[in-house]
Chains A and B, each alone.
Chain A
């Protein structure tokens, strides 16, 4: 009986202390750690079209189209198919593809989640955080470079 009452007392203590551990999203944004891997951001200015990211991607999320002179034409990335392993960022020699801390993206159909290079460029930095600063501080990112209109859809 004592154990039973102990359990009841413990739950009542929790009920009365009024503390909650859930948060009211979206009014209260959850804390995202600086290393968090979210939606990608791509810089056409930096990309050298070496296709390392396309090759390393474990589930063919990245699709690159170049012309015969190896000039980049398309850079498509399916953020709904991506498993956010960050291997593309890891192998990129020029930091042209980065994973921001942004985790909020929506689409009405899965096709809406196929981002082309313009959409990828317009993914906003999350709270102006430099994603590389906490991951690999010796590689600088390009926060502030090439700001553009934000257009998720």
Chain B
């Protein structure tokens, strides 16, 4: 279970350094720890897990030459990508071109600050945690737009515009659906939301089923999963990249380190989506037997697996259809969900 003490305070206690210097140091150490955890996961996901998963769906073998199960390919790929030449297109709008990858990767990482990952790994627990997550996560679309616009490439521009149009269309259903969860908890604080899910929902044949909001309100869960796919830009909503249509979208002109940052940022973003889903709907780090952090990792990897599964099996929706689904479908449904939840909660007097 998530402890009430945030991680920096725990570190400061261990280090035993007081004052502002100690606070700063422990904050930095805590942030570094969380950042390292997420980037390590991304390193597994990007060059290795994604290939293995895609290969499984497509009946192929995939990476297996370097290291056990091909895990060495992570290092090899890192060296390969970092040693490539950084090509900056003529007429690129700098420094926007340079900032964009940092914005994308940074915004996704920053949002992890308020996610309770179990075993006390929780950097901060502000009262407006949920709002903070959504606010920070949507900065990513600014990064996409900057990258798309600054690249001086028409495909990039189209990709950037698509990203923004899509994110606006899906951010609102996402937040509104999350609001229906907040109705249950009555708090925007992440630890409160997790705590609200520890109570027992029902007990079937001796197995205690916790009140995870995925069980309490499955409709909201499904809505959130779909909106999340669009938010992180994965099939069927991967139009901002859409390699077969607009080459690579916003990242067409990025190479070497910048490309790695974009690439990492995308994966961190998928994991962030998974983390939000885990926290809001799947009880955060809760689970039997195993430590909380392991459960948390399993949950966000399950969401990652789901995105990859969709990638293999679901066709990409056309951009106008996406906007239509977003504004005419999901938005209406999410408001209906919010309204119904509010009415039911009111009637039941919970």
A contacts, CB < 8 Å to B: 4, 7-8, 10-12, 14-15, 18-22, 24
A24 touches which of B56, B58, B61, B313 (Cβ 8 Å): B61
B138 an interface residue at 8 Å Cβ cutoff? no
Closest chain B residue to A12 by CB distance? B309
Q: Is B75 an interface residue (CB 8 A)?
A: no
Q: A-contacting residues of B (Cβ < 8 Å)? A: 53, 55-61, 64, 309-310, 312-314
Bound complex: CA A7 to CA B236 (Å): 13
The 8 closest A-B pairs by CB, nearest first: A11-B313, A15-B56, A8-B313, A15-B57, A7-B313, A22-B60, A11-B57, A11-B312
Which residue from A11, A18, A20, A21 sits with its C-beta under 8 Å from B309? A11
Residue of B nearest to A24 (CB): B61
A12 to B312: give the CA distance in the assembly, Å.
9
Interface of chain B: mostly helix, strand, loop or mixed = helix
Among candidates B53, B58, B314, residue contacting A8 with C-beta atoms closer than 8 Å = B314
Minimal beta-carbon separation of B166 from chain A (angstroms): 19
* A interface: dominant SS: helix
Q: A11-B309, A12-B309 are in contact. Are A4 and B314 (CB under 8 A)?
A: yes
Give A4 Cβ to nearest chain B Cβ, in Å.
7
20 A-B pairs within 8 Å (CB atoms) are namely A4-B314, A8-B309, A8-B310, A8-B313, A8-B314, A10-B313, A11-B57, A14-B56, A14-B58, A14-B59, A15-B53, A15-B309, A20-B55, A20-B59, A20-B61, A21-B59, A21-B60, A22-B59, A22-B61, A24-B64
**Quick one: closest B residue to A10, CB to CB?**
B313
Chain B minimum-CB-distance residue to A6: B313
